[in-house]
Amino acid sequence: MRESTNRPLAERQQGNESMQPPTKSAPWIVRRISTEFGRRHVKGIAAVRCLVAIWLVIVGSILCASGHWWGALLFAGAALVGSLAYLMPRWKVALDAENAQAAR
């Protein structure tokens, strides 16, 4: 059965974990790289970023196995994309709170 949505957005349950109100603001770089579309479709963008990170690891592994050691640089890209996929839903709460404060 679904929970009542009378609670504020920041306190609603998302999945199995409860999203707490943000204690810190989002980093400035996140405000620069996030788009309005990305903020509206956080789960879809996170899924695509996870797939890209997996693809980068696979391609990097193939390149390293074939003797092209510069392919290890793709692991750094995969780590960056994977961390963005993991952290963006948490930063979305902070970005929404900042946008709500700016609109007041």
| pLDDT tens profile 24-75 | 777 777 878 888 888 888 889 999 999 999 999 999 999 999 999 999 999 9
Instruction: Break the chain into its structural domains and give their ranges.
Output: 49-104
**pTM of the model as a whole:** 0.67
DSSP secondary-structure letter at 23?
S
Euclidean distance between the first and final Cα of the chain, in Å? 34
Strand partners, 17: 14
